[in-house]
Chains A and B, each alone.
Chain A
């Protein structure tokens, strides 16, 4: 049986995995990243909308190969059609883009490879190897259909929503039904859209537990999708059914041609209490770090991936594996408040009725908001619906 040995093994070749592999390799560790699929980034399981303005912190240069369409802002649409336009200025000069997620992931993997990390595709981790001190010492895997053993001092679980590594290592990543959003999306061509804006449609179209989105990929094309939380669902296939209904109600979308279907789930919860255990660290979606309001996971995967990669690299450098426990403190200092704030806001938003969404969005759209701060929003909404603000204030 083939046997390999590395300082750091990263399981999963998404944004979290590639970023962790890159920063660990830059610290001088020997790194292997494995990806179960035959191609990094494929099949895409993503709405492909991201915010910009943070990528350079991670050495990522914007490039047309994956950044295919820039947007000026977002439109948040209430059930009766009230629309709140959020432009770059209001959102703190953060603008957004629609990306080709497969090319984006491949670019990140290439950066990891250039930093010195080894990569193996079509390689699937099947179980953990434990040492006599009850620490994880690597994985048993299938590499191109052959059994192999990959030994490592540190294992980073970047295995996404399916999150096996964490559960095998004794970290519970089980989510409540209200913290799981299941999604379906079409890539549509030949539709009438305002390609300058992403659209978010709230309310009963997604059973009040999610939203439908239109993320432009060009003048007449977009990713059109819908996500809904599991607690709202009685029967399988709900995201597809609801999305078809949404498109049916929008003639400007209905005439479009579908060139791609995408399915997948994301966590809209918060990370488990422990993300480092027995020599294993979890990053990104595997650690339930996707943003609970949007379901977006790319940025937090890259943020946590960098912290995990650097911490693992340091542990190897100083020859003390217990150093990886610092990862817990480090990512929480940077990300935890934000994750909890958005999770609590999500838990409030899912209780709103269509009428309340209409009130909220119409009040905000009428107001002259220059800087979209949370407090400014609350001031505006207070005039229209004091009770709603009282509830919202309770978690701020």
Chain B
């Protein structure tokens, strides 16, 4: 899953415009992720200017 630290996030939308499958949306002051569409590529984590995003790799069930 994608964890967004809302205290670090500056809601700039860098992650939203970078997401290759458009599974993120910038609301006025928060970003939300559609986990069902997410392909866990990690682009959002790397592009974030302030390091607010962490891709948490889930252990296989």
Instruction: Show the binding face of A for B, using Cβ within 8 Å.
Output: 36-38, 43, 45, 122, 124, 160-164, 167, 173-175, 177, 180, 182-184, 230, 233-240, 261-265, 267
Contact of B49 among A38, A43, A160, A263 (CB under 8 A): A263
State whether B46 touches A234 (Cβ < 8 A).
Answer: yes
Query: Which residues of B (1-53) have their CB < 8 Å from a CB of A?
Result: 10-14, 16-18, 20, 22, 25-28, 43, 45-53
State whether B47 touches A233 (Cβ < 8 A).
Answer: yes
Complex Cα spacing A164 to B48, Å: 18
Q: 26 A-B Cβ contacts within 8 A?
A: A122-B28, A161-B13, A161-B16, A162-B17, A164-B16, A174-B20, A180-B18, A180-B47, A182-B47, A182-B49, A230-B46, A235-B51, A236-B47, A236-B48, A236-B50, A236-B51, A236-B53, A236-B54, A237-B51, A238-B46, A238-B49, A240-B49, A261-B10, A263-B14, A264-B13, A265-B49
Residue pairs across A and B with CB atoms within 8 Å: the count is: 92
Determine the residue in chain A with the shortest Cβ distance to B27: A124
Contact of A236 among B12, B22, B45 (CB under 8 A): B45
A-side contacts of B10, CB under 8 Å:
43, 261-263
Contact of A235 among B20, B46, B49 (CB under 8 A): B46
B53 CB to closest chain A CB (Å) equals: 6
B-side contacts of A160, CB under 8 Å:
13, 17
A-side contacts of B50, CB under 8 Å:
184, 236-237, 239-240, 263
B-side contacts of A173, CB under 8 Å:
17
Complex Cα spacing A384 to B1, Å: 52
B-side contacts of A235, CB under 8 Å:
46, 51
Complex Cα spacing A230 to B17, Å: 12
State whether B46 touches A36 (Cβ < 8 A).
Answer: no
A-side contacts of B16, CB under 8 Å:
161-162, 164
- Please, how many residues of chain B have a CB less than 8 angstroms from a CB on the other chain? 25
State whether A161 touches B28 (Cβ < 8 A).
Answer: no
* Residue of A124, A180, A263 most packed against chain B (CB within 10 A): A263
Determine the residue in chain B with the shortest Cβ distance to A121: B28
A129 CB to closest chain B CB (Å) equals: 18
Complex Cα spacing A43 to B50, Å: 16
Complex Cα spacing A230 to B49, Å: 10
B52 CB to closest chain A CB (Å) equals: 7
Contact of A230 among B11, B18, B53 (CB under 8 A): B18
B-side contacts of A167, CB under 8 Å:
22
Determine the residue in chain A with the shortest Cβ distance to B31: A162
Q: A45-B12, A160-B13, A263-B10 are in contact. Are A184 and B20 (CB under 8 A)?
A: no
Contact of A265 among B25, B47, B53 (CB under 8 A): B47
State whether A236 touches B46 (Cβ < 8 A).
Answer: yes
* Residue of A162, A163, A230, A235 most packed against chain B (CB within 10 A): A162
Complex Cα spacing A363 to B47, Å: 35
Determine the residue in chain B with the shortest Cβ distance to A231: B46
B-side contacts of A264, CB under 8 Å:
12-14, 49
B-side contacts of A230, CB under 8 Å:
18, 43, 46-47
B-side contacts of A177, CB under 8 Å:
43
State whether A237 touches B13 (Cβ < 8 A).
Answer: no
Complex Cα spacing A160 to B17, Å: 9
Contact of A38 among B17, B28, B52 (CB under 8 A): B28
Determine the residue in chain B with the shortest Cβ distance to A166: B22
Complex Cα spacing A194 to B47, Å: 32
State whether B12 touches A263 (Cβ < 8 A).
Answer: yes
B-side contacts of A182, CB under 8 Å:
14, 47-49
State whether A162 touches B26 (Cβ < 8 A).
Answer: yes
Complex Cα spacing A255 to B14, Å: 29
